[in-house]
Amino acid sequence: MQIITPDYILTPDTLLSNMSVAFDKKIKKIAPLKELKKEFPDAVVTKLKKNSLLMPGLINAHVHLEFSANRTKLSYGDFISWLYSVIENREELIGGCDSSCMTKAIDSMLESGITTFGAISSHGMDLQACADAKQNVIFFNELIGSQAKMADALFTDFLARLDASKSIKREGFYSGVAIHSPYSVHPILIKKALQIVKKEKLKLTTHFMESSAERDWLDKSEGDFKDFFQNLLKQNSSLSSSSEFLEHFSGYMTLLTHAIKANEEELKMLSSNGHTVIHCPISNRLLGNGALDLKKLQEHNIRWICATDGLSSNYKLDLFEEMKCALFMHSNMPLLELAKQLIRSVTKDAADALGINSGEIAEGKSADMIVLDLQSKPSDELAIHLILHRYNISKVYINGILEKGI
């Protein structure tokens, strides 16, 4: 048992002072130090510096590690141009990122306080790095392929990757499934994958309504995707409508990434199914997809959480940077309220959406915690200051183990 004594604790809904936390793998009790010492006399006590803040470790629900080699290869500003540049540079990017490149990306997340991440794995090349990561990992095996003639081979490959991920037995590692998107996965493949997901109760995610190209293609088989599909895949029309796609996810909680171009009907469907939207503001800006309407999501009572996406559409994997960009991007929202929602979105709400027992400094939760060195006593506007000032992260605990700091 250990006891940690910060000056302040952000739970994340409440700010506590003069309280300590007793924990092993899990948080056992939150109480004044004297009380905890009496209850746990053998515990090792860590007294933190003045103005230290303990808060839940951050959760990055959406990252593509296999693309971590990108710095300047990909074209930004327009979704379809970016997609062409991904296809053109795919071999070089994937080949250029070995396990050490992915481990570097994973370690950079640890440095910025990320204690859990959801890895969207296209090829399974990131499996070993994720198995070896210090963080909790939801390993989402991605299914992609719109051509019927390729379906059997693609599904066999998908099953092999899923099985390989299921063979990783370590605390905090979960296998999941990612359906790439409504435009890129054949409905037969989706059906087959979701049978497994539902039977095995796997965690499930997909990209959804990221670009105008996707909207136009699914609605009218027109727009920027027309040439792309005709030239590269010999397809003249979309394989399904957006509502047919969403139907696959009915009754099964799913994390949908982007949803910028989702319409009212789709938002109603997301809401009635308890789905979560993953918001990646930097990626959305760099790929020219515009800003997600957070107000509208809230009107529909849809949970949204903030994530980084991969280094194919970002310059770092840092949720503090991501939250800062979101704070400036959504300038129509009340500043303090948005800052609080963002902090919640990368802690408690992300944990709830992913179905993991983390994201809060609360009794019974996993001891996934970070220590920030504030410069002064926190004010009512702490959430804003946390996002703006990027305070030093002096300690990171994952499942009660100190993984960064001394």
Taking CB under 6 A as the criterion, the residue among 145, 172, 182, 281 binding ligand BEZ is 145
Q: Give the one residue of 122, 184, 345, 358 binding ligand BEZ; rule: CB under 6 A.
A: 184
User: Which residue's CB is nearer to Fe ion, number 5 or number 68?
Assistant: 68
Minimum Å distance from CB 306 to ligand BEZ? 25
Q: Which residue is nearest to ligand BEZ (CB)?
A: 146
Contact between 146 and ligand BEZ by CB under 6 A: the answer reads yes
Closer residue to ligand BEZ, CB minimum distance, 82 or 183: 183
Could you tell which of Fe ion, ligand BEZ, none binds residue 144, using a CB distance below 5 to 8 A set by kind?
ligand BEZ
d(CA 220, CA 352): 36
| Shortest Å distance, C-beta 229 to ligand BEZ | 7
229 vs 320 by CB, closer to ligand BEZ = 229
Rounded to a whole number of angstroms, the minimum distance from the CB of residue 232 to ligand BEZ is: 8
Among residues 126 and 214, whose Cβ is nearest to ligand BEZ? 214
Region of 24-32, 58-66, 144-152, 374-382 interacting with ligand BEZ (CB under 6 A)? 144-152
Count of all residues that appear for the chain in the document? 406
Q: Which has the closest alpha carbon to 124: 166, 181, 187?
A: 166
Examine residue 233 and tell whether it contacts ligand BEZ (CB under 6 A): yes
Nearer to ligand BEZ, 20 or 235 (CB): 235
CB 393 within 8 A of CB 348: no
Q: Is 182 in the site for ligand BEZ (CB under 6 A)?
A: no
Based on CB atoms, which residue is closest to ligand BEZ, 117 or 229?
A: 229
Regarding 183 and contact with ligand BEZ (CB under 6 A), the answer is yes
SS (H, E, C) the chain: CEEEECCEEECCCCEEECCEEEECCEEEEEECHHHHHHHCCCCEEEECCCCEEEEECEEEEEECHHHCCCCCCCCCCCHHHHHHHHHHHHHHHHHCCCHHHHHHHHHHHHHCCEEEEEEEECCCCCHHHHHCCCCEEEEEEEECECCHHHHHHHHHHHHHHHHHHHCCCCCCEEEEEEECCCCCECHHHHHHHHHHHHHHCCEEEEEECCCHHHHHHHHHCCCHHHHHHHHHHCCCCCCCCHHHHHHCCCCCCCEEEECCCCCHHHHHHHHHCCCEEEECHHHHHHCCCCCCCHHHHHHCCCEEEECCCCCCCCCCCCHHHHHHHHHHHCCCCCHHHHHHHHHHHCCHHHHHHHCCCCCCCCCCCECCEEEEECCCCCCCCHHHHHHHHCCEEEEEEECCEEEECC
Least distance (Å) between residue 176 CB and ligand BEZ: 20
For the bound state, the minimum distance from the C-beta of residue 210 to Fe ion, rounded and expressed in Å, comes to: 8
Distance (Å, rounded) from C-alpha 148 to C-alpha 292?
33
**191 contact partners, CB below 8 Å, separation of at least 6:** 248
Please state the closest distance from residue 150 (CB atom) to ligand BEZ, in A: 8
Minimum distance, C-beta of residue 191 to Fe ion, in the bound complex (Å): 22
Which does residue 146 bind out of ligand BEZ, Fe ion, none, counting CB within 5 to 8 angstroms by kind?
A: ligand BEZ
| Nearer Cβ to Fe ion (279/404) | 279
CB of 13 to ligand BEZ, least distance (A): 40
Measured distance CA(318)–CA(368) in Å, rounded: 17
7 binds, among Fe ion, ligand BEZ, none (CB under 5 to 8 A by kind): none
Q: Which stretch binds ligand BEZ (CB under 6 A): 127-135, 145-153, 205-213, 276-284?
A: 145-153
210 is an active site residue: yes
Q: Select which of 210, 266, 321, 360 is catalytic.
A: 210
* Residue whose CB is less far from Fe ion, 126 or 309: 309
Q: Which 276-305 positions form the footprint of ligand BEZ (CB under 6 A)?
A: none
Tokens coding 221:
């088989």
Residues 276-315 close enough to bind Fe ion by CB under 5 A: 309
Residue 350 · residue 359 · CB < 8 Å: yes
Which of 21-29, 49-57, 143-151, 158-166 is the region at the interface with ligand BEZ (rule: CB under 6 A)? Answer: 143-151
CA–CA gap between residue 310 and residue 323 (Å, rounded): 15
**Which residues form the interface with ligand BEZ (CB under 6 A)?**
144-147, 183-184, 233
Which residues are known to be catalytic?
Answer: 210
Q: Interface with Fe ion by CB under 5 A: which residues?
A: 309
